[in-house]
Structure 1
Amino acid sequence: MFTEKRKSFLIFFIPSMIVLAATVLYPLIYALIMSFTDSSLKRKGLGNFIGLDNYTRIFHDTHFLGSVWTTVVFTVLVVTLEFAFGFIVALMLNRIRFGKKIFFTIIIVPMLITPVAVGLIWRLLLHPDLGIVNYMLSLIGIEGNAWLGDAKLAMFSVVMIDIWHQVPFMILLLLAGLVSMPSEPYEAAKIDGAGRLQTFWMVTVPLMKETIIVAILFRAITAIKTYDLIFVLTKGGPGTTTEVISYHIYKQAYTFLDTGYASAMSYLLLLVIFVLSIVFMKVSRSQPQA
């Protein structure tokens, strides 16, 4: 009996491990090897071994450092605004007694759309001549803008689009935390005469601390590696105003064909995400189980 179960297990386990190795492990190992070479798409093979030259080059590359700053700005803006807006909406939904499912269904719709589709939709909506946004503004006498083509507005536009797309996830996570909170602390606060604002700061926020940290960390991880939305909307432009790390790596590999250097940058980004992921998992495990 044991042997039969073991055979059944291996029949399903081995193919999945082969697929995992082919699609994840092999590319990771190959990219790591490439990061120590002068590999280029201009020629065949891995090229010459150059040690840590690609990694030392990163810290002197002003274009890469600029993309790091752009990524930091983008991440801070989207995480902060999505958390603030998400918490407000989650608190409102938590108080609704009737029609909660309807409101909830409407709110999560943007989250169900793929980033590429979101980018295509909003690129059309924000089109300077054909977009409905500029048309609606013209109806009230406001001149339209090249939202994605203006260096002063491009980052703002991308951030707003990302908020529209990702804030439902923040609402979902924070609402789950609010629903799972015990009622006793609120009853005690009410007996003590605490107002709504006092109850929020003294009861809700402390009880939600772990959930808040998890939500912020998870969203920061996904924001740092944002690529598809940037690619569809602005391709890092105008100039480099929206060129985040992931898109900069893409350009290095497929525009400048410097795959060795791009691999080194990819591993640096992977290291940052790996560290944040470890923190995320530790915080997640520390949360009390409902």
Structure 2
Amino acid sequence: MPVNAVAHTAAALFTGLSAFPLTPLRDGGLDEKAYAGLVSRLAAAGVDSVGALGSTGSYAYLDRAERARAARIAVDAAAGTPVMVGIGALRTSEVLALAEDAQNAGASAVLLAPMTYQALSDDEVFGLYEDVTRELSVPLCVYDNPGTTHVDFSLELYGRIARLPNVGSLKIPGVPAGADRAREHVAAIREVIPDSVTIGVSGDWEAAAGLNAGCDGWYSVVGGLLPEAALAVTRAAAAGDAERATRLSDGLEPLWALFREHGSLRVMSAAAEQFGLVSEGNLPRPVQGLIPAVRREVAAALEAVGHARPATATH
């Protein structure tokens, strides 16, 4: 695909709501039926894209074969909804192999975080993206997730990487508190990246603030299980109704509080179990699910935000 065609595709792909589902396990292996069900729910809800094998999708705990299979299942289950597939790994050679698998599976884009064990310099982070983007035929989203990678992206590094071929979006952490500071932060990023590169916010409880500050999309954990709720926030912000977007997000505070205390992955795992969409023990050990008392808190939070267990389940 020509570079200009990639840029056009990226501009359309990396906006709106990208929903990141769990990658559930069962008996130590990928629970293919449950995973397909999670993805198909998102497509049916009308999300703008599916973010397969993100951090919520436990990509770092899966081997290459599992990730290749998950990518194919996601593309098939999405039924035409664009799928972005995570390709992060410790070695560049592994990232390139995962990128090939994702493209062969029919992914519309790939998502790359600079995974580390040894601390990486800015030049080494840039080199990773330079090596990978050179080989791609689909757009790439740069995944800035300092909480897990311990890599801090400066504005200068954003700008260097964003000018590489095939880069279509930046997935940034939550924006600073306060509307003015949030707008200034997003504007500062825009000043150093090409117009063809979008900015998507993560950090779910700060997403409405990021969207209202001018981010183009939301890379959403909660959207992977409650797509309608996340879509409502995203659409309100896109329509310029910042007050409604904030109010809708504030209505999800019972979940945000649990995210902050226990981590979004474990909370979403418990919520998916509550809905009957996945089996118990769906996380990759040594990661463990929440204790029963906190699971009850999750159930109460879902009830409080108007999302009790669905009448029907796919698992």
TM class by smaller structure = under 0.3
TM-score, normalised to structure 2, is: 0.23
> For the pair shown, which has the larger CA radius of gyration, 1 or 2?
1
TM-score, normalised to structure 1, is: 0.25
Higher helix share: 1
Q: Higher relative contact order by CA 8 Å / sep ≥ 6: 1 or 2? A: 1
